[in-house]
Structures are given as structure tokens and as C-alpha cells.
Structure 1
Amino acid sequence: MDRFLSNATNRIDAKGRVSVPAAFRSVLARRNIQELYCFQDFVFPAISAGGPELLERFERQIGAADPFAPDANQMSLLIHGGGVFMKFDAEGRLMVTDFIRDFTGITNEVTFVGRADHFQLWRPEAFQAAQAQAREERKLAGSRS
């Protein structure tokens, strides 16, 4: 498969690096992604990460809108002002920077969460809570239909 699926939690080492799960590294290798575009998620306390095509997708949306429209300005503020490029080290690790820590509250562990065409970095407890809430909301929505 060429999608980011499942989730895995890894410890941050003493130098502030975390290993990207092997399944995610395989997808990145198949897609020939050498550098990640990362941005602060719009909804969750998570960092979303993907290849350059992720940024390009958002820039196409921004480019198709009226450049003076509030939506286009907000999207640019979030995508450009809340985004960075990050590189892996030789062992497939990412540096857990203040950009990541300050937005997510991550301290000593990172949960990697597959989101099909990209993945996210979460504080483990926040991911568990968000997933439990989503499951409960889906269960309630199913019982109403």
C-alpha cells in the first residue's frame, strides 16, 4: 500500500529525535519523499506531515480563490505561517523541535497517526482521547440513522 495507515508511539531520544515508524518510512521511500512539509493541524493539536504535494494541494486551493478573500488569507496564514520543512537524519529520525512541542504538548513520546496521504504527530494521550471521542460520536451517529 502507498498510504499512511495505523498508528505507532515512539520515544524521543536524549538528543530530541524520534524514529519514524518503519511502515511510514516505506511509504515515504516509495513516494521518494526526502523532506517533509509539516504544518499545525487546523482542528487537532497535532502536526500534519507529508511530501511537497501536500503543500502544493493547499496552494492550489489558495490560488483558485480571490487573493483578497478572507478564506484565502486565512488559509495562507495557516499553511505558510504555520508550516515548516523538515528533513530526516540518516537513520530515518526527525528532530522534535519547539515548533512541534509547543503546538502539540509532546514531551517524551510521539504518536504517529496515518491519515492516508499524510501522517500526524500527536501527544499520545491527546490522540487516544481524540480517537475515543471520534469513535463515540460515530457510534452515536450510527444509532440515530
Structure 2
Amino acid sequence: MNRFLSNITNRIDAKGRVSVPAPFRSVLAERKIGELFCFQDFVFPAISAGGPELLDRFERQIVADDPFSPEANQMSLLIHGGGVYMKLDAEGRLMITDFIRDFTGITTDVTFVGRADHFQLWEPNTFQAAQAEARRVRGLGGGRT
């Protein structure tokens, strides 16, 4: 397995840490990702997290455009100004910092959401609502009512 798939909700401990789900840690290990690049998602109230290739992808886009253009400057503002590096501790936990809490509204639980080459951190109820809305917009039934 070399992609981040599914969604899993874990509780934040008393010290503000949350265990990254084992399937996600396996992908991180397989890809040899030791440090996560995390940024505020452009569309959703979620933090996106991935390896250095995630940051590289955005930087290639900035360079492909005129790096002095308003679009490139806006992308840099979002990616560089809205991004941080984070590391898991020895037990595979991630600190849920104010950077994460303030942008997502996360309080006691975190939903980890696979997005193929990266994953996201969501407030659980917000994720459920966004997923239900995506199903509705796409005309897909099912799920809980």
C-alpha cells in the first residue's frame, strides 16, 4: 500500500497529541517520509500533510508560472505562508498545535482523511458534512441520513 486511503478518527490525548493511524504511518514509512509538510487546504477547513514532494509540486507550479505574477505570489503566500514542517514523535503521534486547531476547529478528536499522495486533518463533524455534501453534489446516495 503506497497511498493514503480511507478515514479514521482518533482522540487527542491530554498533552495535545494524536496517534497517526497505522495505515497512514505505513505509507509514511514506505515513502521514507520523516518530516511532514503541512499546509492549510485551499478549499476545505483542513490541514493537508505529506512529504517533501508535496511542497515540490507546488513550487514547480510557482516556477512554471511567472514567479513574479500575482497568481504565483498568491500561491506562495498560501503554500509558504500557510505551511509548516512537523514530525511524528517516536510513538507515531502528531502534536495538534494552534496552527492546526485555529484553521480546522479541531478540539478533542481528529479525522485523518486519505487523499492518495497526502492526507488531511479534519474536525470529525466538519468532515462528515463535507463528505455528505460531496455525495449530494455528485448525485451519490447511500451513507447515513
TM-score normalised to structure 2 length: 0.95
* Residue 68 (structure 1) aligns with: 68
* Residue 84 (structure 1) aligns with: 84
Report the AA paired with residue 21 of structure 2: P
What's the RMSD between the two structures over aligned residues?
A: 0.7
User: Structure 2 regions of 5+ residues with no counterpart?
Assistant: 141-145
Report the AA paired with residue 128 of structure 2: Q
What do residues 50-70 of structure 1 show as CA deviations (whole Å, max 9, x unaligned)?
001000000000011112211
Offset, 1:103 = 0.2
- What's the % identity of the aligned pairs? 83
- Match runs of 1:103-142 below 5 Å: 103-139=103-139
TM-score normalised to structure 1 length: 0.95
Report the AA paired with residue 3 of structure 1: R
The worse-fitting range, judged by mean Cα deviation, of 59-68 and 33-42 is: 59-68
* Residue 96 (structure 2) aligns with: 96
Larger relative helix fraction: 1
What do residues 86-114 of structure 1 show as CA deviations (whole Å, max 9, x unaligned)?
01100000000000000000000000000
User: Structure 1 regions of 5+ residues with no counterpart?
Assistant: 141-145
- Match runs of 1:50-69 below 5 Å: 50-69=50-69
Match of 1:49, SS state, is strand
Offset, 1:46 = 0.1
Report the AA paired with residue 128 of structure 1: Q
Match of 2:38, SS state, is strand
Runs of 4+ in 1 over 3 A off after TM superposition: none
